[in-house]
Structure formats: structure tokens, C-alpha cells
């Protein structure tokens, strides 16, 4: 095997200047053009690093000492930098985070989408960018005979035990901590993924920010939950907001969190929450946005871009539990939603009934197949909304959109890179991107959502 030729050596100490941030929040320093990625540093800073790994075209380093600090730096104790799981940007001022995310969106639109002149607005951020997530699902383990629960260390399966996350709602933090204590007191054994033994795999808490309703889900390897009556009794006593206690069984050797079997131990099958005036029923397995404050901001922007007058037929691809569909139905003549997950469609229908919305219909299937079939049957959309997963839209769906020629496309994206790729395809198919509005759904993390508005030329 040929030896890697790099201008640095592993464990070497070098002084560098940091030039940029990658999409995953690592700072970039270059030595003779060779990039080194370093967590915890910021553009414009200088410092000393230790080279930790060398690959053919790039390497990694560890920040040892800072010489010049960025004005956007916030002091975070080194022990806390990765304590809370996923908070890669917590050492950057919130203003700096929003600038980073706007730059990230602009750069991928130019580099991947070849979209030079698109109007990209400043990121819509939060007034309070901490303690915002309404859901947590934390792995459970054991240390010194005691239950621990928290987050996996980056690139490992080692659990960091934590009593609080700086990005979860206080009621969610409180619930996770109480459940951990209850299960520990009752000597519930944690799941051991190596031996595939033990009981408790994950604890999930969901909280309705507008309703104050709490759901607890215990995910176990075993079909039986030891001391379940006592667990329920203690939860009701310690968590007065609890409305639903659920047991999910996942007996497989897998990284997937939830299994197929779910049963209610106490209370309701669902809790409720609102986004704007629309009420949603949320079950243990429902997909529901984890930042309801910014979800309202995101959906309001999608509604603004759709510019509905009450006469339009709208198709909502990847509709999930109907969150965007039901928002659109308040202003549209008719809304058709499609989603591949049957349970999500059942939730969408239930949510439509819950809100007395009668002009929304939902179908199960792959968006690219169902919408293509609708098109063949002569159904047309005036406005088409897509909110795909991180991998972006299926190519067949994009082709159908181009063939169907809705006057307007509203693209809600959770991944700027696939957004840029798909906008390029739509532009080549006869659309023009008018506006892109980034929205910060996940402060303290590198993730950025965006809404794009396209019109048929």
C-alpha cells in the first residue's frame, strides 16, 4: 500500500489559521493546501493543533491552544462541548450561527445548484435559541451498577450520562431525569447491545408546548416490563403533566430505536399540541416537528409563498401527519396529501377530523408513484408543495412536477445540498427560483431548513 503523502505527520503540533467551517461545524485549516478539520475552532482564529489523523486528501486535528479568538466565540467549558449531543455550534454566538447557516445555504445553491442570482434572505432565528425541543429519545446504559441515560459520544456507542440538555424543553429534561431515577430505584436493568441482554433500551419523552401534555415511552428488549404498575404509579406521582405512558417492544439487534409492538400502559394513546390554530394528535410513533415555535415560522413562510386565494388545488408531497396540508387547507380550495407511511396517513386523517377540515384528502404511497398516477388520471395542481426527507425529492417526482406544470412549487427543505440539486433540475425543467428563506429550526446545531418559492416561466 502506498504511503500517504501529506505535509503533516500524525501527532505533530502545528500553528494554524482557521479559514472556514464545514457543513458539520468543523473548522478548516490548510497546511500547504492540505485541509485539516478541527472541532471547536472558528474562522479567523489562530491556534495550535495536534494532528490526530491523516487521510490521502485531508486530515483531522485537535485544538490544543487558541492564540486569536473570533468575536463570535462563546466560552463553553471543554468538558461540556460534546456533553449535550449534537450541539456542534454552541461555542458560537447566535448571531454567528445564523451567519454561518446563511452562508452555507448561499454556497450550496451556487456550488451545487449553479444558482447565482437567487434571492437568499437572512436566516429567521429564534428569540430564545435554547431549550426548544419538545421530544427526547435517549439511550440507556449502566455504569457501576447504576442506570445512566443521555447521548452517545460522537462516533461511538459510549453513553454520556446527563441530567439536562440545553436544547430540550425543561419539562422534557425533567421527565427524562424522573424516569431514569424511577427505573434505577426499581432496579430495571439496562439493555446491553453487545450481549443482547437486559431490559430498558431507550426512554422517550414528548411534550405539547401549547397544551402542557406529556407522553412517556419506555422502549424495552423484553415483551414484559418488570414492575410496570409501580413505574406507572411513580410517574403519575412525580410527573403531574403526564397524560400518556406507553410501552414499546424492540427485541431485535438493531440501531433502530422503536419496535413494532406498542401498547398504552396508562392514560391516552395520544397527546395534543397546536401549531398556530391547527391542533395535532401525537402518538408514540407520530412524526411531529420537534421545534413547534420555528415550525410555525417555517409553515407561515410556505403559506406566504403558496399565495393562495381560495380557488387553488394543492398537492402536498411527503405530507407526514398532515402538518403542512392542514395549514394550506385553511386557504386552498382543495388539498391532496401523499405519504409512504400508512400510520402517518391515519394520523393526517385524524388531524383533519380533529380540526373540522373537510377539504383535505390523504393517500398512502410513494409520492413519485401516487402523484404520477394522479397526473395520468387528469388531476392537476395549481400549487405543489414538497417537504422531502434529507435525501431530497425522488427523480421521478421531479419529472412529474415538470410534466404537470403547476404554476408554483413551494419546496420545504431540511438539507440545503439536496435542495440545491433539486432546484437545478426544476430550473432546467422550466421553473425559476424566486426566493429562498432559511429558517433556523435547530439552534446550536449545524442543521438548517429552508423554504424555496419557484414559479413556472
CATH of the domain at 36: 2.40.50.140
Domain range holding 27? 13-70
Is the domain of 336 the same as that of 296?
A: yes
224 CB contacts (<8 Å, ≥6 apart)?
none
Is the domain of 187 the same as that of 40?
A: no
Q: What is the pLDDT of residues 409-443, one digit of tens each?
A: 999 999 999 999 999 999 999 999 999 999 999 99
Is the domain of 182 the same as that of 33?
A: no
Q: How far apart are CA 177 and CA 265, in angstroms?
A: 20
Whether residue 453 lies in the annotated active site: no
- How many CB atoms lie under 10 A from the CB of residue 404? 17
Q: What is the pLDDT of residue 356?
A: 97
pLDDT in 10s for each residue of the chain, 457 residues: 455 678 999 999 999 999 999 988 899 999 999 999 999 999 999 999 999 999 989 999 999 999 999 999 988 755 455 555 678 899 999 999 999 999 999 999 999 999 988 999 999 999 999 999 999 999 999 988 889 999 887 777 889 888 888 999 999 999 999 999 999 999 999 999 899 999 999 999 999 999 999 999 999 999 999 999 999 999 999 999 999 999 999 999 999 999 999 999 999 999 999 999 999 999 998 889 999 999 999 999 999 999 999 999 999 999 999 999 999 999 999 999 999 999 999 999 999 999 999 999 999 999 989 998 998 898 889 999 999 999 999 999 999 999 999 999 999 999 999 999 999 999 999 999 999 999 999 999 999 999 999 999 9
For residue 15, what are the β-bridge partners? Answer: 48
pTM of the shown model? 0.90
CATH of the domain at 160: 2.40.50.1070
Q: Which of 319, 393, 414, 448 is catalytic?
A: 414
Q: What is the pLDDT of residue 269?
A: 95
Strand order in the sheet with 408-413: 119-120, 431-439, 449-456, 408-413, 383-386, 313-317, 334-339, 360-364
Residue 224 C-beta-side C-alpha neighbours within 13 Å: 2
The reply to whether 79 falls in a domain is no
Q: How far apart are CA 242 and CA 240, in angstroms?
A: 6
The reply to whether 83 falls in a domain is no
Rg (CA), the chain: 24
Looking at 70, 88, 114, the residue that finishes a domain is: 70
The reply to whether 370 falls in a domain is yes
The reply to whether 204 falls in a domain is yes
- Domain count for the chain, please give it: 3
Q: What is the pLDDT of residue 1?
A: 47
Is the domain of 225 the same as that of 295?
A: no
The reply to whether 280 falls in a domain is no
Q: What is the pLDDT of residues 35-45, one digit of tens each?
A: 999 999 999 99
Is the domain of 441 the same as that of 298?
A: yes
The reply to whether 82 falls in a domain is no
Is the domain of 324 the same as that of 409?
A: yes
Is the domain of 245 the same as that of 369?
A: no
Q: What is the pLDDT of residue 5?
A: 78
Is the domain of 383 the same as that of 423?
A: yes
157-161-164-169 Cα dihedral, nearest 10 degrees: 40
Is the domain of 165 the same as that of 148?
A: yes
Is the domain of 365 the same as that of 299?
A: yes
The reply to whether 421 falls in a domain is yes
Is the domain of 189 the same as that of 216?
A: yes
Is the domain of 64 the same as that of 172?
A: no
Amino acid at each position: 500500500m502506498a504511503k500517504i503523502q501529506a505535509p503533516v505527520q500524525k501527532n505533530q503540533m502545528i500553528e494554524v489559521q482557521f479559514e472556514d467551517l464545514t457543513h458539520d461545524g468543523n473548522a478548516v485549516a490548510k497546511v500547504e493546501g492540505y485541509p485539516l478539520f478541527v472541532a471547536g475552532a472558528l474562522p479567523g482564529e489562530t491556534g495550535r493543533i495536534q494532528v490526530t489523523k491523516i487521510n490521502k486528501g485531508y486530515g483531522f486535528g485537535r485544538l490544543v491552544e487558541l492564540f486569536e479568538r473570533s468575536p463570535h466565540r462563546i466560552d463553553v467549558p471543554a468538558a461540556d462541548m460534546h456533553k449535550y449531543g449534537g450541539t456542534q455550534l454552541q461555542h458560537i454566538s447566535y448571531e454567528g450561527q445564523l451567519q454561518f447557516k446563511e452562508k452555507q445555504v448561499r454556497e450550496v445553491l451556487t456550488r451545487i445548484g449553479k444558482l447565482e442570482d437567487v434571492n437568499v434572505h437572512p436566516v429567521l432565528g429564534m428569540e430564545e435559541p435554547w431549550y426548544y425541543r419538545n421530544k427526547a429519545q435517549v439511550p440507556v446504559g449502566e455504569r457501576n451498577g447504576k442506570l445512566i441515560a443521555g447521548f452517545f459520544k460522537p462516533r461511538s456507542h459510549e453513553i454520556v450520562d446527563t441530567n439536562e440538555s440545553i436544547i430540550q424543553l425543561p419539562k422534557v429534561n425533567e421527565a427524562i431525569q424522573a424516569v431514569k431515577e424511577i427505573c434505577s430505584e426499581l432496579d430495571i436493568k439496562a439493555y446491553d447491545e453487545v450481549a443482547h441482554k437486559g431490559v430498558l433500551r431507550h426512554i422517550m419523552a414528548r411534550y405539547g408546548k401549547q397544551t402542557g401534555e406529556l407522553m412517556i415511552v419506555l422502549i424495552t428488549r423484553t415483551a414484559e416490563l418488570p414492575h410496570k404498575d409501580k413505574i406507572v404509579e411513580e410517574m403519575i406521582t412525580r410527573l403531574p403533566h403526564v397524560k400518556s405512558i406507553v410501552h414499546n417492544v424492540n427485541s431485535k439487534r438493531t440501531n433502530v430505536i422503536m419496535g413494532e409492538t406498542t401498547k398504552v400502559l396508562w392514560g391516552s394513546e395520544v397527546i395534543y399540541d397546536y401549531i398556530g390554530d391547527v391542533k395535532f394528535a401525537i402518538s408514540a410513533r407520530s412524526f411531529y416537528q420537534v421545534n413547534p415555535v420555528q415550525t410555525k415560522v417555517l409553515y407561515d413562510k410556505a403559506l406566504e409563498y403558496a399565495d393562495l386565494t381560495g380557488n387553488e388545488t394543492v398537492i402536498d408531497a411527503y405530507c407526514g401527519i398532515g402538518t403542512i396540508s392542514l395549514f394550506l387547507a385553511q386557504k386552498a380550495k382543495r388539498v391532496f396529501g401523499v405519504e409512504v407511511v400508512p400510520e402517518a396517513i391515519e394520523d393526517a386523517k385524524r388531524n383533519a377530523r380533529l380540526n373540522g377540515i373537510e377539504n383535505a384528502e390523504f393517500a398512502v404511497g410513494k409520492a413519485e408513484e401516487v402523484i404520477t398516477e394522479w397526473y395520468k388520471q387528469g388531476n392537476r395542481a395549481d400549487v405543489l408543495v414538497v417537504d422531502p426527507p434529507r435525501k431530497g425529492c425522488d427523480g421521478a417526482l421531479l419529472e412529474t412536477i415538470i410534466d404537470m406544470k403547476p404554476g408554483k412549487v413551494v419546496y420545504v427543505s431540511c438539507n440545503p445540498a439536496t435542495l440545491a440539486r433539486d432546484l437545478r433540475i426544476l430550473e432546467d425543467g422550466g421553473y425559476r427560483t424566486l426566493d429562498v428563506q432559511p429558517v433556523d429550526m435547530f439552534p446550536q446545531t449545524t442543521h438548517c431548513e429552508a423554504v424555496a418559492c419557484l414559479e413556472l416561466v
